């Protein structure tokens, strides 16, 4: 099997059967693979899918989360000592202690606090009551947040907060798959990802 095209992905997202979150028997993480050099085009496609699927024929309101941007906002909202923004503090320290900063960012990105931050955003979205249905969360920016947070760690760390009966998470991954592992940018192995289903052209 080969990866889905964007058109095939959109068709699947429009499927009433796939929109049914109660059908999530085990895991609700789905991975859409694309070439890393198509990052800009993929961002445009994500916006286009979000806009098109919200039209009356589907009435689907998708939450899109740029994981890297969300992490930056998460860090910016935290204070550190006299510093109102942990993000600004850590970026200033990066000039003199880059290795220490990398370790701190890895700890923060893999923390329960960041996972809960993502969870709260997702639940605020899916709990809205209006004319739309909200079965999907799109996550992207996985290449930008590396090496602070690996995709495999995101799947594992988010699991305690996951509400598989409420939504499906579509991960847009710039790389390919080899066995049960992902290869970020087609080169960097990202460990086992048994919790995710790769979207393939069946």
HSE on the CB side for 145, CA within 13 Å?
A: 31
- Distance (Å, whole) CA 193 – CA 155: 8
Give per-residue pLDDT as tens, 5-46: 999 999 999 999 999 998 766 789 999 999 889 999 999 999
Structure token digits, residue 81: 């000592």
Decide if 171 contacts 128 (C-beta within 8 A). Answer: no
- Report the pLDDT averaged over residues 125-152: 94
Looking at the predicted structure, is the pLDDT value of residue 189 above 90? no
Where residue 60 falls (left for φ over 0; alpha for ψ -120 to 50; beta otherwise) is beta
Could you give the CA distance from residue 157 to residue 134 in angstroms, rounded to a whole number? Answer: 23
pLDDT > 90: percent of the chain: 63
pTM given for the model: 0.91
Three-state DSSP at 115 gives: helix
How confident is the model at residue 23, as a pLDDT?
Answer: 76
On whether the CB atoms of residues 124 and 84 are closer than 8 A, the answer is no
187 pLDDT tier (thresholds 50, 70, 90): low
Phi, psi (deg, nearest 5) at residue 98: -60, -35
- The pLDDT value given to residue 83: 85
pLDDT in tens, 54-73: 999 999 999 999 999 999 99
Grouping H, G, I as helix, E, B as strand and the rest as coil, residue 200 is: strand
How many structural domains does the chain have? Answer: 1
Helices (H), the chain: 6-14, 16-19, 39-53, 67-76, 86-93, 98-109, 112-126, 142-145, 151-158
Summarised one tens digit per residue, pLDDT across range 144-160 is: 999 999 988 999 999 99
Residue 182 confidence (pLDDT) above 90 = no
Structural domain containing residue 41: 2-201
Backbone angles phi, psi at 135, to 5 degrees: -85, -10
Judged against a pLDDT cut of 80, whether residue 2 lies above it is answered with no
């Amino acid at each position: 099997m080969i990866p889905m095209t964007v058109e095939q992905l959109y068709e699947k997202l429009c499927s009433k059967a796939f929109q049914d979150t109660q059908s999530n028997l085990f895991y609700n993480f789905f991975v859409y693979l694309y070439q890393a050099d198509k990052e800009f085009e993929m961002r445009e496609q994500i916006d286009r899918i979000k806009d098109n699927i919200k039209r009356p024929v589907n009435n689907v309101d998708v939450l899109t989360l740029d994981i890297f941007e969300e992490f930056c906002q998460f860090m910016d909202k935290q204070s550190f000592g006299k510093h109102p923004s942990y993000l600004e503090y850590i970026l200033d320290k990066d000039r003199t202690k880059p290795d220490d900063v990398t370790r701190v960012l890895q700890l923060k990105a893999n923390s329960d606090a960041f996972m809960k931050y993502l969870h709260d955003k997702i639940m605020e979205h899916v709990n809205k009551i209006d004319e739309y249905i909200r079965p999907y969360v799109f996550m992207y920016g996985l290449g930008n947040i590396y090496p602070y947070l690996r995709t495999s760690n995101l799947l594992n760390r988010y699991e305690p907060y996951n509400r598989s009966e409420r939504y499906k998470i579509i991960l847009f991954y710039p790389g390919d798959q080899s066995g049960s592992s992902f290869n970020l940018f087609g080169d960097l192995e990202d460990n086992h990802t048994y919790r995710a289903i790769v979207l393939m052209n069946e």
